[in-house]
Copies of this chain bind each other. A is one copy, B any other.
């Protein structure tokens, strides 16, 4: 039998270079944004040569994928955390995970951008698939209590996900000091109620 823990290989350098590199990448990410995240810089910060990461990741995209996978994990936890603070009532719980979504985007700006960047990520990676589906699962189960429309439960999920994701993307521009006409000067809690969400009649 093999547990995930036994797969940890303790080699000669420091405990786990793979984990160290991921952490270094996240540090670079919130210190200097996406531009600052570089394979060679990660290696340097971890104290190894620039070619060392190749033994742990499939190129730069492998490293980015691992970082994003860890990002999804934190993302999921943030939504759950907010949901547990909310009243045990479907609508309050839904609003809570949305606030968690937005808080994560606010507090992990560059990581959030990377997570939803379609470039340079290896979507065949199973760890990424696992973590991202786990995040979606939180959304799905929080949407489940509501009455679904023409498109079934997935229609409700996509409606909510799109709304909050789009709102997060637009809100980002504000923080970057862009100030378009399309940057929302509106609270999310004022637009969520405009979805036609109903509870089924018991």
Contact = CB atoms under 8 A, between A and B. Distances in A.
A52 interface: no
Interface string A167-187: 101101100101011101111
Contacts of A144: none
A180 to B, nearest CB: 7
Contact of A184 (B129, B149, B158): B158
Contact of A162 (B136, B137, B163, B178): B163
Contact of A187 (B34, B151, B191): B151
Interface stretch (A21-29, A62-70, A86-94, A193-201): A193-201
Interface stretch (A11-19, A39-47, A77-85, A111-119): A111-119
Main secondary structure of the interface of A (DSSP, over half): helix
A181 B158 CA distance: 11
B123 A186 contact: no
Interface of A: 34-35, 113, 116-119, 123, 129, 132-133, 136-137, 140, 149-152, 154-159, 161-167, 169-170, 172-173, 176, 178, 180-182, 184-187, 190-191, 193-196
